[in-house]
Structures are given as C-alpha cells and as structure tokens.
Amino acid sequence: MDRTKELLLSLAAPPSHRCYLCEEEEVLGEDGLCDACRRALKLAISPAPPEGLDGLSAGLQYCDELGTIFYRFKKMERRDYTPFLAQFISIPEEWHAELLLPVPLHWWREYRRTYNQSFLLSEYVSSRYGIPICRDLLVRTRPTPQQKKLPGKQRRRNLKGAFRAAPECQGRSIVLIDDVVTTGSTLSECARTLKKAGAYRVYAACVACTER
C-alpha cells in the first residue's frame, strides 16, 4: 500500500478506534476525536503572519492538550498522528501556491529522529490539494539549539544564517509547512532566506499557533 493510501485510511479509522487526544475508546467523529476532546480544542482565528511572510494559516489555537499530541508525534515516533494533525492545515486559494516546502531539520537531527514531522504533514497536504512538494528548495546548514528553550531575541540570533535556499525558488509562490508557530522566528528566517534567493511569495500553513 502506498503512503497516501495509508494516510487516508488512518484518518478514516484511527488506530484501535481510540480518540487521538485522550486515547480512550469512545464514539469518534470523522476528525478522530471524542466529543469531550473536541470541545477542548479552539480554532485559530486569522492569525497574524510573522515578519517576512505574506500570509499564515493555522487551524488550531495551541493548548496543553495539543502539546501532548505534538510530543507523541515528534518524540515518540507516533507517525500515525500525521493525518489527524494534517487535517487542520489549510491553504487558501488566493495564495496561488505552486510548491509546498516542509520546514527543514538539520540532517543530524532528522537522522536521530528518523523523520521530519513537517515532511510527513506535507505529504498529506500535497495529496489533498494536489500541490507538489519540493524539499530541496531550502536546507538547514547547521544545527541550532531548540527554539522553545530560548527567549524571543535570542531565537532570532540563533537562526541567523541557519538556512540556505536553492536558486530554483526564484519567482515561485511557496508555502512552508510546519506543525506549530510560536514566536514565528523560524518561519521568518525561512521566508527571508527564500526571498533573498528570489522567491516571489512565501506563506506558511501550520496545524496550530500560539497567541502572539
């Protein structure tokens, strides 16, 4: 079975029919959540794009419950969460998106984790919207300390010069795909690097965002 079919089937029937959030066996909706957990999640309303981005789409407001899911997804190799999380990523028609670009990890971090969670999300979004993925447009050139452990100004310094864009991005309308937007420093640096290399427009579509 190919990857796309696996993702679609996973969304239709979560493993063991357990709620993705509380992991209890419940009567689930099409989104893979029980009623109680669905009420715990809040939609993100028109989040402001970080500096350098031409637009930002985020489906959910970040909360502790989502934090648990992201931890399982990124740290516990729970790839089965991909379709559940990806369903909250949307790409507005007016963006005229040409390419999806998962926010890159440094090769060593991806090797240790065994996958890039943003790429997994991109695969599902690509199958839904028919927009191709191009991972090679942006490379993380050096490892950096985890952003969540740093204050705002230090986050920006931490990422300066951490990415390199390929010349093929010139004139393209690109959508960065990521899981969570916090300060937006990573997305801003990605957008700055891509535009410096000639990208026409750079947007970001994410699962969730924090209040900023």
Read off the pLDDT of residues 112-122 as tens digits, 9 standing for 90 and up.
888 999 999 99
Burial tier of 142 (Cβ tally within 10 Å: 0-12, 13-18, 19+): exposed
Q: Are strands 99-102 and 56-61 parallel, antiparallel or unpaired?
A: unpaired
Pick 65 or 206 by higher pLDDT: 206
**79-96: average pLDDT:** 95
Q: Rounded CA gap, 200 and 212, in Å?
A: 26
**181-202: average pLDDT:** 95
Count Cβ atoms below 10 Å from residue 189 Cβ, excluding itself.
23
Confidence band for 13, pLDDT divided at 50, 70 and 90? very low
Sign of CA dihedral 163, 139, 165, 127: negative
Task: Write phi, then psi, for 104 (nearest 5 degrees).
Answer: -80, 145
Tokens for 34?
A: 């029980």
The mean of the pLDDT values for the chain is 86
CA distance to 9, 43, 75, 99, 190, per residue, from 176 (Å): 25, 20, 22, 9, 8
With 60 as the cut, is the pLDDT of residue 45 above it? yes
With 70 as the cut, is the pLDDT of residue 203 above it? yes
Fold classification of 42-209 is Rossmann fold (3.40.50)
Q: What single-letter amino acid sits at 37?
A: C
Q: What is the pLDDT of residue 160?
A: 76
Q: Is 4 helix (H, G, I), strand (E, B) or coil?
A: helix
Q: What is the distance between the terminal CA atoms of the chain, rounded to a whole angstrom?
A: 41
**159-167: average pLDDT:** 88
With 60 as the cut, is the pLDDT of residue 7 above it? no
